């Protein structure tokens, strides 16, 4: 089944007609009438982003669809959809210098992807006033087609199954349009055949690859994770897999593949619009109070909608679930209850143990082998509400860029990964914090210095927490500290 995102454009009907005439089953949804979670439930084989009368910034869910599903689902953008692809991966989309509405051009191309086997050049109809600017095209994209005067008419991601075309293949004024769309359908079929072939990979083959020092592809890691989540891996196989992965060192593709499947097997929280999560990996040894949880409460009070994902203590004395439970929060709410909390109160908590039931297969092995494994860093990546904006704290600086790159592969809209002075998996208040910021598909590294904030300088010793009751009392007293310098208030 193909998902067709309608950007409120009459050409969507033509796309639907051509695709169905070519034998495709097409499910069409307006760009503001479907959520990312809905799309996950539909599990489309391919996604087509339609033309539209606006800019990429006004294209509803289109950009988020490309970010989330582009790495794994064959995606074709037409006209506005093409511009959205350029925008999502960091290119500038602006005025073309000419307006083309109902005018044909000769399209020169390199024969890649959906352009395979088409005449060079070929005639196509154009309806647009915006283009992707060539000097801003990132290294992740390949320009596949241009007009006779050099304007970009086609782009293609170098790693993901994502392509865009500026012209309209669904018009009778593009004689080779149906052949182009057939190429896309062939790509969808080939992609799905490859996935089916990969289902024969056994976790033992994955172990063998890891032991020999080879990294798994994102798809292979996902397949191994699927066997783990389904309870098909024996304890010995799981222990060997996790240990071999740790010794080799987890790659971004391996982490992303495993996170994708862990998300797939989680219970889902369906909420409209943007939600934010703040979470740390733990393991920094600081025994700090629950900073990310406190920050989530403060942000929610300021009007930010929070979908907080957390667990009981792993490395410290008190985890997010522990302190919230001590505050009287019902931490084991079902998805519907969390949805109501977010929609009505602006914040909801998803208890990891309750929302990831398939983790029961991995829990005993993790405890028995007693070493850090990839599961220690998967928690912040597997928010059941599919939060597209996150602040993630990491205890080890070598994890920073890797986590940001994983979030890019997972289609995150914006993520801040932070590592504070002294190994804090939070923003430090007594020195520099290294930040890896993911925005518009690119990762930028910068340094945050707290001196100019007016929050005071507070060391790790000022942020040490206690047990769940002590930390809950601290959280409850935040309002009473209004206007007075205090380390916990400043940290939050």
Q: From the first residue on, what is the mean pLDDT of each consecutive set of 10 residues in the chain (492 residues)?
A: 96 95 94 93 95 94 95 96 96 86 92 92 95 94 95 95 97 94 91 64 90 92 91 94 95 94 90 90 67 88 94 70 87 93 95 90 88 88 93 92 93 93 84 92 91 73 66 66 65 65
Per-residue pLDDT, 195: 61
Q: Would you state the structure tokens that stand for residue 82, as one six-digit string?
A: 């093409």
Cα Rg, the chain, nearest whole Å: 24
- Alpha carbon dihedral 259, 263, 265, 271, in 10-degree steps, equals 180
441, 408 Cβ separation under 8 angstroms: yes
Instruction: List the catalytic residue out of 82, 128, 160, 170.
Output: 170
Question: Which of these is catalytic: 157, 168, 270, 309?
Answer: 168
d(CA 284, CA 392): 13
Can you give the pLDDT at residue 99? 75
pLDDT of residue 281: 83
Q: What pLDDT score does 292 carry? A: 86
| Contact of 12 with 51, CB cutoff 8 Å | yes
CB 374 within 8 A of CB 339: no
Closest CA to 131 of 155, 114, 115: 155
pTM: 0.63
**Other residues' Cβ atoms within 10 Å of the Cβ of residue 444:** 11
pLDDT in the model for residue 89: 94
pLDDT at residue 264 in the model: 86
**pLDDT at res. 158:** 93
79 catalytically annotated: yes
**278: its two tokens:** 């703040």
Classify strands 93-109 and 122-132 as parallel, antiparallel or unpaired: antiparallel
If we measure between CA atoms, which residue out of 221, 222, 197, 227 comes closest to residue 209? Answer: 221
Whether residue 121 has a cis bond before it, omega within 30° of 0: yes
Q: How many CB atoms lie within 10 A of CB 137?
A: 18
Are residues 79 and 12 in contact, defined by beta-carbon separation less than 8 angstroms?
Answer: no
Asked whether the beta carbons of 305 and 274 are under 8 A apart, the reply is: yes
Q: Side-chain half-sphere of 13: how many Cα atoms within 13 Å?
A: 2
Helix 11-21 crosses helix 177-198 at what angle (to 10 degrees)?
Answer: 60
Tell me the domains of the chain and their CATH numbers.
2-196 (3.40.50.880), 199-263 (1.20.970.10), 271-491 (3.40.1030.10)
């Amino acid at each position: 089944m193909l998902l067709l995102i309608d950007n409120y454009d009459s050409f969507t009907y033509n796309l639907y007609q051509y695709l169905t005439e070519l034998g495709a089953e097409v499910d069409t949804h307006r760009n503001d009438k479907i959520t990312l979670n809905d799309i996950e439930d539909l599990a489309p084989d391919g996604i087509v982003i339609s033309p539209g009368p606006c800019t990429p910034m006004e294209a509803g869910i289109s950009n988020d669809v490309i970010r989330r599903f582009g790495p794994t689902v064959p995606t074709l953008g037409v006209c506005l959809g093409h511009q959205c692809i350029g925008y999502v991966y960091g290119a500038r989309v602006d005025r073309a210098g000419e307006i083309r509405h109902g005018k044909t051009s000769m399209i020169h191309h390199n024969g890649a992807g959906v352009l395979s086997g088409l005449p060079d050049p070929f005639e196509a109809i154009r309806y647009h006033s915006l283009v992707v600017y060539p000097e801003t095209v990132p290294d992740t994209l390949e320009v596949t087609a241009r007009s006779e005067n050099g304007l970009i008419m086609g782009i293609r991601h170098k790693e993901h199954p994502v392509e865009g075309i500026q012209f309209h293949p669904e018009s009778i004024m593009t004689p080779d349009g149906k052949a182009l769309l057939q190429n896309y359908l062939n790509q969808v079929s080939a992609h799905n055949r490859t996935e089916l072939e990969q289902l024969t990979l056994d976790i033992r083959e994955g172990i063998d690859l890891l032991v020999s020092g080879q990294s798994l592809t994102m798809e292979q890691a996902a397949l191994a994770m699927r066997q783990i989540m389904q309870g098909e891996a024996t304890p010995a196989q799981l222990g060997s897999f996790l240990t071999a992965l740790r010794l080799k060192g987890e790659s971004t593709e391996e982490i992303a593949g495993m996170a994708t499947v862990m998300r797939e097997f989680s219970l889902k929280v369906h909420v409209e619009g943007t939600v934010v999560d703040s979470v740390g990996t733990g393991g920094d040894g600081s025994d700090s109070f629950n900073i990310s949880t406190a920050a989530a409460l403060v942000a929610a009070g300021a009007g930010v909608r929070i979908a907080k994902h957390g667990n009981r203590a792993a490395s410290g004395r008190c985890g997010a679930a522990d302190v919230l439970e001590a505050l009287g929060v019902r931490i084991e709410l079902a998805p519907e209850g969390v949805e109501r909390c977010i929609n009505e109160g602006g914040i909801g908590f998803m208890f990891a143990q309750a929302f990831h039931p398939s983790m029961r297969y991995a829990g005993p092995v993790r405890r028995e082998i007693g070493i850090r494994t990839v599961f220690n860093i998967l928690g912040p990546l597997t928010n059941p509400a599919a939060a597209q904006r996150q602040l993630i704290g990491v205890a080890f600086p070598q994890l920073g860029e890797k986590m940001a790159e994983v979030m890019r592969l997972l289609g995150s809209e914006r993520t801040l990964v932070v590592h504070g002075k002294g190994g804090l998996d939070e923003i430090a208040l007594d020195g520099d914090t290294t930040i890896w910021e993911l925005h518009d598909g690119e990762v930028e590294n910068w340094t945050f210095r707290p001196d100019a904030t007016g929050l005071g300088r507070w060391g790790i010793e000022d942020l040490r927490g206690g047990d769940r009751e002590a930390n809950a009392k601290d959280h409850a007293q935040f309002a009473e500290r209004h206007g007075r310098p205090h380390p916990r208030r400043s940290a939050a």
